[in-house]
Amino acid sequence: MLLRDLIDCYEKVGSTTSKLEKIDIVASFLKKLDDRDIPIACYMLTGKAFPEWTGKELNVGWSTLWDCIRKVSGVSEKELFEAFDKFGDLGLAGEEVLAKKPRMHLYREPLTMREVHRFFDLISKARGEGSIKKKSTLLIGLLNRASPKEAKLIIKTITGETRFGFKEGLMEEAISKAFGVDLELVRKAHMLLSDLGEVALIAKKGGEEGLSRVSIKIGRPVKHMLAEMAEDIGEGIRRYGKAVFEYKYDGARVEIHKGREIRIFTRKFEDVTKNLQEVVEELSENPHEFILDGEVIPFHRSPKSFQLLMRRLRRKYGLEDIAKKVPVRLYVFDILWLNGKSLIDIPLKERRELLEKTLSQTKHIKLAEQLVTSSKEEGEKFYMKAVSEGFEGVMIKDPNSRYLPGKRGKHWLKFKQKPESLDLVVIAVEYGHGKRANVLSDYTFAARDRNGELLPVAKAYCGLTDEEIEELTEYFKRIAIKREGRRFIVKPELVVEVKFGEIMKSSVYPSGYALRFPRIERIRWDKGVDEIDDINKLEKLFEMQKRKV
């Protein structure tokens, strides 16, 4: 199928405000496609280049993209700036300047969806030394063949603009409609596979039977189950009667897949196997095949700082050296798959039993400390013990709960010792003042609203070291989408943990809330933008704050 057919579909979707019509348009488009095009259409219509679980990224910086557009269109720096100023969007600016170019590409073969996808694949694979040059060459080749409208779509996919693309929830509905399968089955398969393209293909070829056979599998990371904030220690007991209390470890969430080989993934689906070799070695003695869920923390006699762990996990070279400097421990709290069988639908208490039978504790691998009780006092004591040993707090879980990948809900609650902070995403950055005039040191943070939109809730100037600010300045320039004088709008991908004095009602921010005295506690390189907090949490914290006064 041609790329221009996909763009037609996009335009039709954009021309109606009716949700049902949008779903119908996408469903009939999907029905027309052959099997190889279906997955590509699912990714590109949701504004993505690749399925989520692969962790693959295009990684084309703003300035590279800018230079490529200039080269292909032949416009001057000033002309591109003018177009950019007019729209405030590089995709639209690219479309305009390319429309001015002599129409050489019309004599070439039109681009197919598959070709674009192959280009995306090659661009993402260009890594290491000389990668910027390789990416530029590929991108210039692609844009040279693209019509202005096609270029707009390509550019917007690269910048990862958030308002672009059909929402994933709607795509699930379109898949269900296109292939006449139950929506709930589509949602579940999506939750398990993190790949809408694959789900659509299964729906088409295997129907409802195929979808109901979808299971998690070794080597394919699944999203982690997430927790909601507990109001107090007693909440779990009030909710579940008997509750599972576990220590809350403050590190990075990891998923361990042990089949023929062992692979360890972060919550962003990055493969960190090489960074955790002592864990791999100890696990390789184990005769079973499994998928485990746990938290790896920096540990030497007691828990150490989270920043040290990030340094170790982000390291690409000198891995043995940093492993000695930052020893770690893996605390395992769940098992999702064992010797050919998925365990996610059996209750937590049974999963824990299987985990204890399967995993022997070794020097670097431990089972999460646990207490099952219906007594609030015992829960409190357990919490005090966790904190006195240097851990972050407790998790309180429903012993009868299934494992729900990617879901945040009331089956798992978290209760921390430190005052609650918020995980927010940086959406804009600005040059500072005085000695920080040449670095991007002022950040605007956003939380998610109920529809998944990102809404600003705070601006902070401090909390990071000079070294971190310098590293981030380079980083933000690479992911900038738009420049407005001294300010850049950046691709929303860097998650930071923000502390604050209090939450206020705000008439300035559209979210209705603003943080007073915000400061960055730490950079969460391990978390992705889909894991940031939502306005509900701000609301809840605001209510709790009122009760304390």
Residues designated catalytic: 248
User: For residues 96 and 533, which CB has a smaller minimum distance to ligand AMP in the complex?
Assistant: 533
Spell 233-268 as b/e; 16+ CB within 10 A means b. bbbbbeebeebbbbbbbbbbbbbbbbeeebbbbbbb
Q: Which of 246, 398, 430, 521 binds ligand AMP (CB under 6 A)?
A: 246
Residue 408 engages ligand AMP in binding (rule: CB under 6 A): no
For the CA atoms of 205, 207, 210, 214, what is the dihedral angle to 10 degrees?
110
Look at strands 290-300 and 252-258 and give their pairing: antiparallel
User: Residues, the chain, total?
Assistant: 549
CA distances from 148 to 10, 48, 102, 111, 246 (A): 15, 19, 11, 12, 55
Q: Which residues contact 140 (CB under 8 A, 6 or more apart)?
A: 68, 71, 72
CB count in 10 Å sphere of residue 503: 24
DSSP E strands in 262-345: the ranges are: 262-266, 290-300, 302-303, 328-338, 341-342
Q: Which of 244, 332, 395, 428 binds ligand AMP (CB under 6 A)?
A: 395
User: For residues 145 and 253, which CB has a smaller minimum distance to ligand AMP in the complex?
Assistant: 253
Which three-class secondary structure state does DSSP give residue 348? helix
Residue 503 engages ligand AMP in binding (rule: CB under 6 A): no
Which three-class secondary structure state does DSSP give residue 246? strand
Task: Output the smallest distance, CB 284 to ligand AMP, in A.
Answer: 24
Q: CB under 6 A: which stretch of 6-14, 97-105, 220-228, 256-264 binds ligand AMP? A: 220-228
Residue 96 engages ligand AMP in binding (rule: CB under 6 A): no
Which three-class secondary structure state does DSSP give residue 84? helix
Task: Output the smallest distance, CB 426 to ligand AMP, in A.
Answer: 18
User: For residues 131 and 370, which CB has a smaller minimum distance to ligand AMP in the complex?
Assistant: 370
- DSSP annotation of 390 reads T
User: For residues 26 and 225, which CB has a smaller minimum distance to ligand AMP in the complex?
Assistant: 225
User: For residues 290 and 306, which CB has a smaller minimum distance to ligand AMP in the complex?
Assistant: 306
Task: Output the smallest distance, CB 414 to ligand AMP, in A.
Answer: 5
Rounded Cα distance between 328 and 527, Å, is: 19
Look at strands 480-484 and 487-490 and give their pairing: antiparallel
Task: Output the smallest distance, CB 474 to ligand AMP, in A.
Answer: 27
CB count in 10 Å sphere of residue 271: 13
Q: Which residues contact 422 (CB under 8 A, 6 or more apart)?
A: 447, 457, 497, 498, 500, 515, 533, 537, 538, 541
DSSP 175-187: HHHHTT--HHHHH
Amino acid identity for residue 92 in this structure? L
Q: CB under 6 A: which stretch of 5-13, 248-256, 270-278, 435-443 binds ligand AMP? A: 248-256
Residue 352 engages ligand AMP in binding (rule: CB under 6 A): no
Query: Which residue's Cβ lies closest to ligand AMP?
Result: 253
Q: CB under 6 A: which stretch of 1-9, 195-203, 224-232, 340-348 binds ligand AMP? A: 224-232
User: For residues 117 and 253, which CB has a smaller minimum distance to ligand AMP in the complex?
Assistant: 253
CB count in 10 Å sphere of residue 536: 15
Task: Output the smallest distance, CB 497 to ligand AMP, in A.
Answer: 8
Task: Output the smallest distance, CB 530 to ligand AMP, in A.
Answer: 13
Interacting residues with ligand AMP between 277 and 336 (CB under 6 A): 295, 333
Residue 368 engages ligand AMP in binding (rule: CB under 6 A): yes
User: For residues 8 and 228, which CB has a smaller minimum distance to ligand AMP in the complex?
Assistant: 228
Rounded Cα distance between 129 and 327, Å, is: 30
User: For residues 226 and 387, which CB has a smaller minimum distance to ligand AMP in the complex?
Assistant: 226
**Nearest CA to 354 among 293, 398, 396?**
293
Write out the two tokens for 350.
């049974």
Task: Output the smallest distance, CB 509 to ligand AMP, in A.
Answer: 23
CA distances from 12 to 15, 28, 43, 51, 240 (A): 5, 12, 18, 24, 48
Residue 198 engages ligand AMP in binding (rule: CB under 6 A): no
**Nearest CA to 547 among 503, 507, 516?**
503
Q: CB under 6 A: which stretch of 21-29, 202-210, 223-231, 464-472 binds ligand AMP? A: 223-231
Count the residues of the shown chain that bind ligand AMP, applying the rule CB under 6 A: 13
Residue 525 engages ligand AMP in binding (rule: CB under 6 A): no
Residue 355 engages ligand AMP in binding (rule: CB under 6 A): no
Q: CB under 6 A: which stretch of 71-79, 246-254, 316-324, 514-522 binds ligand AMP? A: 246-254
Interacting residues with ligand AMP between 42 and 61 (CB under 6 A): none
User: For residues 70 and 540, which CB has a smaller minimum distance to ligand AMP in the complex?
Assistant: 540
Q: Which of 249, 265, 299, 443 binds ligand AMP (CB under 6 A)?
A: 249
User: For residues 482 and 524, which CB has a smaller minimum distance to ligand AMP in the complex?
Assistant: 524
Task: Output the smallest distance, CB 229 to ligand AMP, in A.
Answer: 8
DSSP 448-472: E-TTS-EEEEEEE--SS-HHHHHHH
Residue 9 engages ligand AMP in binding (rule: CB under 6 A): no
Residue 253 engages ligand AMP in binding (rule: CB under 6 A): yes
Q: CB under 6 A: which stretch of 79-87, 245-253, 376-384, 426-434 binds ligand AMP? A: 245-253
Residue 248 engages ligand AMP in binding (rule: CB under 6 A): yes
Query: Which residues in this chain contact ligand AMP in the complex, by CB under 6 A?
Result: 224, 226-227, 246-249, 253, 295, 333, 368, 395, 414
